[in-house]
């Protein structure tokens, strides 16, 4: 029988094409991802720009067309920056006006005013507003709240009124727990604001009870600080804007 001839195997010189093709595929995928990220960022900017336009009265096709920049964005970056600067200045003016109106109480430490990206926070110690375990406003507190309302009633910003207590439990026929006490105290402040001319649809009331203490509840002084009502003048800017935090100092 004739022997079968063995054919010598030769190296495949085209194997590098496989690696090259893989490399090109990965490179293509990389550029696709980079483009997608770029598109998402531009999309976020457009959403922010639209939100600012809506918040400040530029909503609608006609207004959007009037406000379009050369790049085609609904609002130019310079315009967005100007709106942010204007709103921050408005918040600062509100904070300073409240500080001036309540200067004696600020110096006594019964009222604290701070400014952040969320807006202006007016912290009022419960000892100024209510008797212990009660939710009825004192005469002194009405004057302070009326002074705040005089600053805020002609503004456009919404207001959030938050009630807080310390961690000492309360249980009586009126307030079965600190939840009810904090909520009713915040509601009392809201009713006084309404009586002072602030539109009801601008107000929101929240009762936190003993949650979110400012200080540890380990001393009588700290518990007194935690018993408070906070009036938050909410910024009109969307949360997507760059955060600007600032603490406003008392006015001498």
Q: Are 59 and 138 within one domain?
A: no
Q: Are 169 and 214 within one domain?
A: yes
Q: Are 116 and 199 within one domain?
A: yes
Report the first-to-last Cα separation within the chain, whole angstroms.
117
Q: What is the mean pLDDT of the chain?
A: 80
pLDDT at 237: 79
pLDDT at 122: 97
pLDDT at 214: 95
Q: Are 89 and 46 within one domain?
A: no
Q: Are 61 and 157 within one domain?
A: no
Residue 60 has pLDDT above 80, yes or no: no
Q: Are 102 and 29 within one domain?
A: no
Q: Are 114 and 37 within one domain?
A: no
pLDDT at 40: 47
Residue 6 lies in a domain: no
Q: Where would I find the beta strands (DSSP E) of the chain? A: 111-116, 119-125, 159-164, 203-207, 228-234
Which domain does 162 fall in, by range? 85-234
Arithmetic mean of pLDDT, 159-172: 94
For residues 167 and 217, the answer to whether their CB atoms sit within 8 Å is: yes
Q: Are 162 and 227 within one domain?
A: yes
CA 125 to chain CA mean position, Å: 22
Residue 247 lies in a domain: no
pLDDT at 246: 39
Q: Are 187 and 99 within one domain?
A: yes
Residue 80 lies in a domain: no
Tens digits of residue pLDDT in 75-109: 566 777 777 888 888 999 999 999 999 999 999 99
Give the neighbor-by-neighbor strand order of the sheet with 119-125: 111-116, 119-125, 228-234, 159-164, 203-207
Q: Are 24 and 114 within one domain?
A: no
Tens digits of residue pLDDT in 25-48: 888 777 776 766 655 455 555 555
Arithmetic mean of pLDDT, 181-207: 96
């Amino acid at each position: 029988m004739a022997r079968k001839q063995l054919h010598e195997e030769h190296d495949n010189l085209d194997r590098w094409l496989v690696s090259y093709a893989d490399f090109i595929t990965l490179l293509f995928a990389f550029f696709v991802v980079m483009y997608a990220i770029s598109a998402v960022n531009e999309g976020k900017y457009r959403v922010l720009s639209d939100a600012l336009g809506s918040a400040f009265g530029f909503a609608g096709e006609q207004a959007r067309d009037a406000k379009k920049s050369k790049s085609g964005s609904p609002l130019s970056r310079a315009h967005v920056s100007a709106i942010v600067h204007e709103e921050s200045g408005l918040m600062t003016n509100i904070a300073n006006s409240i500080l001036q109106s309540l200067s004696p109480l600020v110096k006594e430490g019964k009222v604290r005013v701070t400014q952040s990206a969320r807006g202006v926070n007016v912290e009022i110690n419960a000892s100024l507003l209510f008797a212990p375990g009660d939710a009825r406003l004192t005469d002194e507190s009405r004057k302070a709240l009326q002074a705040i309302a005089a600053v805020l009633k002609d503004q456009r910003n919404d207001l959030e009124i938050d009630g807080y207590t310390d961690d000492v439990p309360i249980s009586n026929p009126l307030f079965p727990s600190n939840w009810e006490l904090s909520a009713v105290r915040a509601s009392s402040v809201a009713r006084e604001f309404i009586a002072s001319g602030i539109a009801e649809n601008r107000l929101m009331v929240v009762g936190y009870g003993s949650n979110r203490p400012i200080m540890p509840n380990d001393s009588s002084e700290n518990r007194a600080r935690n018993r408070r009502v906070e009036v938050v003048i909410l910024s009109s800017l969307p949360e997507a804007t760059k955060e600007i935090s600032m603490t406003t100092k008392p006015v001498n």
